[in-house]
Amino acid sequence: MKLVISKFIKLSLFLLLLFFTFLSCIKDKTSEIDLSNIEVETIVKRFDQKFYTTAPEKLGELKSEFPYLFPKSNPDSVWINKMKNKDEQELFLESQKLYSDFSSKKSELNSLFKHIKYYYPNFYEPKIITILTNVDYENNVVLADSLLFISLDIFLGKDNQVYNEFPNYVKQNYTKEHLIVAVAEKFVKHFIPPSSNNNLIGKMIQEGKKLALAEAFLPNVKKMKS
């Protein structure tokens, strides 16, 4: 029995070594791909800026532009109170210190979309909607069909006073640099669904696949978090 277990362990380690060697080869090749013929259209809609700077009497125009963000069950008074809320206005102003100009992040997202389309030619880039969610870290990035929602208040910097009450292990990725990583991870989970194989080897291989795809999508990002 011990001999069988020993052989199984050796075989498992060999397969893992072989698999991660394969991943390393994939990683080396990502720097060689040609994106010159890959065309994408990266559209960013700054809902956060429009919502917190729009006069209440123009709420109707905002609802017409972003109908998917205004549930019909909520009366206009809910949105007007939200617009005027002191804490939310302060959070908006804090987010604008980093994201009043989103052009650099748009460029990163454009590159990400090109890499995704290189590996998945049928990929259609979603429209990006920047929002604030009152630091709802479980929904920092939401992919909903043709829309990609990014909560900017989750990426203000781990030392920002907004996160004073959060433990370090939670807020360590609340940085501007991690925004593009969080978006890439969302697409990785979309293309690699959960595996039914729950044993240790299966889990390791599954995580290896996700890491390899994430690095293929973002070859210039040195460290990926899962």
DSSP, residue by residue, 146-180: TEEEEEGGG-S-TT-GGGTTS-HHHHTT-STTHHH
Q: pLDDT value at position 210?
A: 86
What single-letter amino acid sits at 92?
Answer: F
Asked if residue 6 has pLDDT above 60, the reply is no
Question: Residue 106 and residue 85: Cα distance in Å, rounded?
Answer: 29
Binning pLDDT at 50, 70 and 90, where does residue 39 land? Answer: very high
Note the pLDDT tens digit of each residue in 48-61: 999 999 999 999 99
Using an 8 Å Cβ cutoff, are 141 and 186 in contact?
Answer: yes
Mean pLDDT of the chain: 86
With a cut of 60, say whether residue 90 has pLDDT above it.
yes
pLDDT of residue 5: 43
* CB-based contacts of 62, cutoff 8 Å, min separation 6: 50, 51, 54, 70
CA 171 to the chain's CA centroid: 15
- pLDDT category, 209, cuts 50, 70, 90? confident
Q: Which amino acid is at 82?
A: K
Q: Rounded to whole angstroms, how far apart are CA atoms 126 and 41? A: 9
Q: Determine how many CB atoms are found less than 10 A away from the CB of residue 3.
A: 7
pLDDT 10s digits, 109-145: 999 999 999 999 999 999 999 999 999 988 999 999 8
Domain ranges (residues) in the chain: 34-191
Q: Is 80 exceeded by the pLDDT of residue 98? A: yes
Burial of 214 (0-12, 13-18, 19+ CB in 10 A): buried
What are the E-state strand segments in the chain? Answer: 44-45, 127-131, 141-144, 147-151
Question: Does pLDDT of 168 surpass 60?
Answer: yes
Task: Name the DSSP letter for residue 100.
Answer: S
- Look at 23 and 127; give whichever has higher pLDDT: 127
pLDDT at 226 over 90: no
Average pLDDT of the segment spanning 172-179: 95
